[in-house]
Amino acid sequence: MVLLDTHIWLWWLLGDGNLSTSERKTLDRFASQKSLAISWVSVWETEMLERKGRVSLTPDFQSWIESATHPDIVTVLPTDIDVVIAQRKLPDTFHGDPADRLIAATSVLSGYRLATHDQRIVNSGACEIWEV
């Protein structure tokens, strides 16, 4: 199982962003094997991005998010007290973005490699990073 950072999930499903052809094909294959997950934080982050006009979701947010979180696409992992406690154990050098902290902590707790292009997360060494 691979945990997708919000931007990877959006780039993959919206067909834009900086994913390589190889990354896209691998994500498609993993989805067909039901081997992809996101944190619920990515749903919240997506709603904020859509409300601010930074992403366009058609036909509307609710319809798009219901499709994008369908169990045939990804497994949505919850955030609970354990995730909140785990994010407190991230390295002191890990940046302060709350969503990134919760997503990285979810990766650590789940044992799933994190697919991200965020160099701050990659360089932190806080969790195992997925690479094609």
Residue 132 lies in a domain: no
Whole-number Å distance between alpha carbons of 43 and 89: 24
Cβ 73 vs Cβ 36: under 8 Å: yes
Residues 89-109: pLDDT tens digits? Answer: 999 889 999 999 999 999 999
Q: What pTM was computed for the model?
A: 0.96
Q: Quick one: 55 exposed, middle or buried, by C-beta within 10 A (0-12, 13-18, 19+)? A: middle
Residue 129 lies in a domain: no
Q: How many domains does the chain have?
A: 1
Residues 13-72: pLDDT tens digits? Answer: 999 889 999 999 999 999 999 999 999 999 999 999 999 999 999 999 999 999 999 999
Residue 28 lies in a domain: yes
Cβ 128 vs Cβ 17: under 8 Å: no
Domain of residue 14, CATH code: 3.40.50.1010
Domain that holds residue 50: 2-124
